[in-house]
Amino acid sequence: MDLQGDVDQLTEVANTHGQLLSYHRLDVTDPHAVSKTFETFVPGLRYPIRGLVGCAGVSDNDPAHEFSVERFRRLMEINVTGTFSLAQAVALEMKKANVDGSMVLTASMSGSVANKGVDTAGYNASKSGVLQLARSLAAEWGSRKGMPLIRVNTLSPGYIRTPATTEALQKPGMEAQWTGDNMLYRLSLVDEFRGPILFLLSDASSFMTGADLRVDGGHCAW
């Protein structure tokens, strides 16, 4: 996926406000690459890292009886192991700087319910893993001696209209089913997740940790 256009747009916004945006390509499944990336950019920061939004993830679908173990492993490596590696790296930086912080790990409503009309057993299992990972990290980093206080929560989006869902939505009847499965009868837009993420990162959620914020248009409330 070509992200250069998005990066250019973010850079323009940062420049408008007199801020600096830096970015690094990273394979989150490679722990060595994660460590090296942090070693590269952290020394140049003006302030310690206080927050993480872990949103590296992929989806894949096919009937479970036809789904190869290799494809299943790839989902787990990126969605679960990659999320853990990022959270671990940021926690170590917070510990080194002795600062408290907040993490938002991207899960999915699919980590709590099965999806109608699509066969995504591997993806759903991986997002359930992210939910439990966040709860476990929250328990460790909320009050452990020798560690700063790090709140860890998850964001569970419902169906979103993005380039990643374009192919699925072209399946006859799929968009009607997805929109009809939630209480607002539409798909969400990427911009609708800015507020929830900022809420979880900020002191507005100072008494939240180990929690999941589900933003799914009421899909799971039926």
pLDDT at 3 over 90: no
List pLDDT tens digits, range 21-38. Answer: 888 999 999 999 999 999
- Asked if residue 78 lies in contact with residue 28, where contact means CB atoms within 8 angstroms, the answer is yes
CA-CA-CA-CA dihedral for 180, 185, 190, 193, to nearest 10: -110
CATH numbers and ranges of domains, the chain: 51-221 (3.40.50.720)
Q: What is the predicted pLDDT for the residue at 12?
A: 93
List pLDDT tens digits, range 75-133. Answer: 999 999 999 999 999 999 999 999 999 999 999 999 999 998 899 999 999 999 999 99
* DSSP-derived 3-state class of residue 150: strand
d(CA 174, CA 117): 7
Q: What is the predicted pLDDT for the residue at 122?
A: 98
d(CA 163, CA 150): 33
Query: Exposed (0-12), middle (13-18) or buried (19+): which is 52, by Cβ within 10 Å?
Result: buried
Classify each residue of 141-152 as buried b or exposed e, where b means 16 or more C-beta atoms within 10 Å of its C-beta: beeeeebbebbb
Catalytic status, residue 127: yes
- Among residues 23, 95, 96, 127, which one is catalytic? 127
- Among residues 23, 123, 145, 185, which one is catalytic? 123
pLDDT at 153 over 70: yes
Q: What is the predicted pLDDT for the residue at 168?
A: 87
pLDDT at 1 over 60: no
Top-confidence residue, 105 or 164: 105
Would the CA dihedral through 187, 192, 193, 196 be positive or negative? negative
Confidence band (pLDDT; 50, 70, 90) for 167? confident
Classify each residue of 90-117 as buried b or exposed e, where b means 16 or more C-beta atoms within 10 Å of its C-beta: bbebbeeeeeebbbbbbbbbbbbbebee
Alpha helices in the chain (DSSP H): 4-16, 31-41, 69-76, 82-97, 121-141, 166-169, 174-180, 194-201
The whole-chain average pLDDT of the chain stands at: 95
d(CA 164, CA 166): 6
